[in-house]
Structure 1
Amino acid sequence: MAITARLTNDTHSYGWVMILLHWLMALAIVGLYLLGLYIVDLTYYDPDYQTMPDLHRSIGILVLIALVLRLGWRALDRSPAPLPEHGSLVRLATKAGHAALYLLMLLTLVSGYLISTADGRPIEVFDWFQVPASPLQYDGQEDIAGFVHYWSATTLLALAGLHALAALKHHFIDKDATLKRIIGIRQETP
């Protein structure tokens, strides 16, 4: 076993670009979910009422940018070959699970954007840049987008938890290289 030093994926493991995007986004999404749960309980007079929603929005926009980069990188770079011990059902479940994770990430991030811009104001991202408000406004936008945002984020976290449990099952029970591939440990082939 060796730690990979490649930026790109190869047939055996993910490269550092995908590994870093995967883990940074995972941490950010879990953090955003917890922060979102905290924010909904804030009152107007709470000192965090003015700052935490801005932090949540700023990080959310950065995660959206990271998602676009990740999808672009994924389209340009090959994926590691499926492990030979994984049958067609496992491969299908893996593809479906990843597609659902990407779709839920996109749905959560876009609905968050629609909540944040429902009043027609842009999103200020850490005083670095602004993201303009959606030019298409509709009645009840904040409420509808809020409903979608909460449930897509909750479903995303539940599915991500199953994703993590599946990776641990592959590592500890099946003893295959699934988890090692996304943490940068390359199985040398004999």
Structure 2
Amino acid sequence: MSSWRDTRSGWGWISILIHWLSAVAIVGLFVLGWWMTDLTYYDSWYNLAPWWHRSLGMLLFGLILVRVLWRVPQSTPVLSGPRWESVAAHTAHLTLYLLMLVVLISGYLIPTAGGRGISVFGWFEVPALIHGLKNQETLAGLVHWYGALALMVLAGLHTLAALKHHFVDRHDTLTRMLIPGKARKP
């Protein structure tokens, strides 16, 4: 029977669900953000696309905070393969978490620079806790853009590594992130 909690042999349903929701949201937000940069004042999406981007970004921020809080007390599944791969995987995961937080925090700092909060789909407002810093919008925008690019590159490498482990090495790494309890037998 599969578990909702993580174990030394595999990921639980909660971690798997948060992982895939985060992955889809991050890629979707990157594509939306890239597309938004070409919109002009006269495009019908000029105001709506950033509203969606900010709203989804704030929901993702909340999900990532839940993910970090969930991840800390959980067991970590043992990785197959040489020690250097385990160290590389651990380093890459920490860097992914750091980049997610950098992108989300800088994304928050852009629209709140003027002191206005962020409306999340009109359901609630995230207050502007930090605002009025010198060049806040511009600097946060640069960090947001380059952080998002770095996040996409590292996420791409993460995906390639998972595929390599699955198809070349025949490890159960990808299988464990898809369905708990369905890991391959050695």
Fold-level match, TM-score > 0.5? yes
Q: Paired residue for 1:124? A: 119
CA contact (8 A) 1:114 1:134 kept: no
Distance 1:188 1:172, change over 3 A: closer
1:161-172 aligned at under 5 Å gives the runs: 161-172=156-167
Aligned to 2:33: 36
Counterpart amino acid of 1:105? M
Q: State the TM-score, normalizing by the size of structure 1.
A: 0.93
Q: Please say if residues 113 and 130 of structure 2, whose CA atoms lie closer than 8 Å, have aligned partners that are also in contact.
A: no
Identify the residue that residue 96 of structure 1 maps to in structure 2.
91
Equivalence map 1:145-156=2 (5 Å): 145-156=140-151
SS of residue in 2 equivalent to 1:139: coil
**Structure 1 unaligned runs (5+)?**
none
Q: How does the TM-score come out when normalised to structure 2?
A: 0.95
SS in 2 for 1:154: helix
Which among 171, 187, 190 is matched to residue 183 of structure 2?
187
**AA of the residue aligned to 1:122:** G
Work out the number of aligned pairs and report it. 185
Residues of 2 paired with 1:47 and 1:188: CA distance?
50
Determine the structure 1 residue equivalent to 2:10: 13
CA distance in 1, matches of 2:67, 2:57: 15
Q: Name the SS of the counterpart of 1:49 in structure 2.
A: coil
Q: Which has the higher contact order (CA 8 A, sep 6+)?
A: 1
Letter in 1 for 2:84: L
**Identical columns (%):** 45
Say whether residues 1:78 and 2:75 are aligned partners.
yes
1:55 aligns with 2:74: no
CA distance in 2, matches of 1:102, 1:46: 34
Match of 1:173 among 153, 165, 168: 168
Aligned-partner Cα distance in 1 for 2:175–2:184: 12
Aligned mates of 2:2, 2:124 — CA distance in 1 = 33
The structural deviation recorded for 1:82 is 2.7
